[in-house]
C-alpha cells in the first residue's frame, strides 16, 4: 500500500471500481457494434439480405439495372374501387368506400429480363395503392397460393442449389436434389404446379398474397387474413401455340386493354381455428364456413413498358401497409422486404454508373 501511494496511485479497491466502470463504458458501444454486425449477417451463418440477393444473382448471368427477381415485367396503372366491405375486419383507409389510384407490375419469376414467357410457370402481380394522409398499401402476389419454402434460410439454400455451375453454366442437379431431399415442404408447391397449369394470360390468373396479415377493426378486434385477387375473365391454361411467342403475356395484356379495363376482385379470407399464421408453405383449407369478404375491385386501365414506366423504381415491399393492417410473424415477410430494398439499391447504382460512363 505504501508503494502504491508513493507513486500517486489510488488504493487497489478504488482502481478496481474505476476499471469496472471503464469496462462497462467500453462494453456498451462494443455490444451495440456486435449487434449491428450480427443483424447485418456479416459474421452469422444466417443469410442477410445482401447474401440472399447475391444468391439470386448467382442463378443467372448479370443483367445490370434490372430487378434480381421478376426481372421481366410490364407496368400497369389504374385504381382500386373500395366497396366498404373490408371495414368489417379492418379500419385501414383503403377499405373506406372510395376510389384510390394505383401503380402495379405484372411479371414472371427469374432474373433474366429476356427470358421467354413460356419458361414461367408462375405469374406475379404487384400493386401500390395510394391512400389519403400519405399512406399507401403495397402488395406482392403470385399465382400460386403458397411459397415453396418457409424461412429465409431455406430460400437461401434453394437459391444456392439453383446457382449456375461456373464450368457448365447450368445448375448442378445433385445439389438441387440434395436440397429437395432436405426440404420436403417443397413438395406441396411442386404438386400445386403439377395440378394447375400456368394461365394463358396475365389477366385471367388469380393472384394470392400468400402470407397472413393481421387486420384490426374500428373496435380494436384483431383477425388474420390472407387475400387474393380474382379476375373477371375465366382462367384458361397456356397452350403450346402461346408458348412459341416469347412475349405473349405482355402482348396479350396490351391487346386486351385496348378493348377496355381489366378487373380483379379483392377477396379477404379470414383465418379459422387451426390455420397456420406464420407458415406460408401451408395452404388454408377451402372451407364453405370460412368468411370470405369481397372488399372491392382492382381496375387496370393502361400498361407501359417497365424501362420507363411508372413502376420502374417502386419497391413492392409487402410490409408497407396502412394503419389497420400489419404483418404476421411469417419470417419470409421481413426477408422479402429487406431483399427488395437491396435489389433496388444495386440496380439504381448500376444505372447511375452507366450514365456516368456515357452508356
SS3 state of residue 222: strand
Give the distance between the most distant pair of CA atoms in the chain: 100
Dist CA 338 CA 358 (whole Å): 31
State the cell numbers at 243: 408458348
Helix (H, G, I), strand (E, B) or coil at 130: strand
Q: Return the C-alpha cell found at 155.
A: 430460400
166-194 burial string, b = 16+ CB within 10 Å, else e? eeeeebbeeeeeebeeebebbeebeebee
Contact in structure between 165 and 294 (CB atoms under 8 Å): no
Instruction: Check if 222 is active-site.
Output: no
Q: Which of 63, 70, 183, 222 is catalytic?
A: 70
Q: Is 340 annotated as a binding residue?
A: yes
Long-range Cβ pairs for the range 254-263 (8 Å, 24+): 254/303, 256/201, 256/203, 257/300, 257/301, 257/302, 257/303, 261/78, 261/299, 261/300, 261/301, 262/203, 262/231, 262/232, 262/233, 262/299, 262/300, 263/231, 263/232, 263/297, 263/298, 263/299, 263/300
| Torsional class of 305: left (φ above 0), alpha (ψ -120 to 50), beta (otherwise) | beta
Residue 178: C-alpha distances to residues 57, 170, 172, 181, 194 (Å):
21, 16, 10, 5, 21
- Strands 207-208, 213-216: pairing kind: unpaired
| Grid cell for residue 100 | 384510390
The annotated binding site is made up of: 340
Q: Which residues are catalytic?
A: 70
The annotated binding site for heme is made up of: 340
Amino acid at each position: 500500500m505504501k508503494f502504491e501511494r508513493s507513486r500517486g496511485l489510488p488504493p487497489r479497491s478504488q482502481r478496481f471500481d474505476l476499471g469496472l466502470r471503464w469496462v462497462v463504458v467500453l462494453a456498451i458501444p462494443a455490444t451495440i457494434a456486435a449487434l449491428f454486425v450480427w443483424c447485418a449477417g456479416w459474421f452469422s451463418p444466417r443469410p442477410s439480405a445482401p447474401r440472399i440477393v447475391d444468391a439470386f444473382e448467382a442463378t443467372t448471368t448479370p443483367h445490370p439495372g434490372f430487378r434480381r427477381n421478376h426481372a421481366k415485367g410490364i407496368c400497369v396503372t389504374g385504381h382500386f374501387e373500395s366497396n366498404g366491405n373490408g371495414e368489417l375486419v379492418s379500419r385501414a383507409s383503403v377499405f373506406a368506400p372510395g376510389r384510390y389510384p394505383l401503380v402495379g407490375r405484372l411479371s414472371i419469376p427469374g432474373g433474366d429480363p429476356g427470358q421467354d414467357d413460356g419458361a414461367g410457370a408462375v405469374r406475379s402481380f404487384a400493386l401500390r395503392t395510394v391512400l389519403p394522409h400519405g399512406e399507401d398499401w403495397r402488395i406482392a402476389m403470385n399465382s400460386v397460393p403458397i411459397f415453396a419454402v418457409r424461412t429465409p434460410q431455406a430460400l437461401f439454400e434453394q437459391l444456392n442449389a439453383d446457382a449456375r455451375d461456373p464450368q457448365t453454366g447450368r445448375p448442378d442437379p445433385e445439389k438441387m436434389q440434395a436440397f429437395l431431399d432436405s426440404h420436403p415442404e417443397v413438395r406441396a408447391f411442386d404438386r400445386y404446379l403439377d395440378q394447375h397449369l400456368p394461365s394463358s394470360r396475365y389477366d385471367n390468373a388469380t393472384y394470392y398474397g400468400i402470407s397472413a396479415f393481421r387486420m384490426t377493426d374500428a373496435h380494436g378486434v384483431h383477425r388474420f387474413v390472407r387475400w387474393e385477387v380474382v379476375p373477371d375473365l375465366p382462367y384458361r391454361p397456356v397452350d403450346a401455340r402461346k408458348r412459341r411467342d416469347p412475349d405473349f403475356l405482355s402482348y396479350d395484356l396490351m391487346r386486351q386493354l385496348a378493348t377496355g379495363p381489366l378487373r380483379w376482385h379483392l377477396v379477404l379470407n379470414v383465418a379459422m381455428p387451426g390455420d397456420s399464421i406464420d407458415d406460408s408453405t401451408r395452404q388454408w383449407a377451402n372451407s364453405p364456413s370460412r368468411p370470405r369478404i369481397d372488399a372491392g375491385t382492382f381496375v387496370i386501365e393502361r400498361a407501359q413498358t417497365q424501362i420507363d414506366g411508372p413502376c420502374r423504381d417502386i419497391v413492392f415491399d409487402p410490409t408497407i401497409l396502412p394503419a389497420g393492417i400489419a404483418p404476421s410473424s411469417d419470417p419470409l415477410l421481413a426477408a422479402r422486404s429487406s431483399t427488395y430494398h437491396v435489389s433496388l439499391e444495386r440496380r439504381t447504382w448500376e444505372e447511375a454508373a452507366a450514365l456516368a460512363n456515357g452508356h
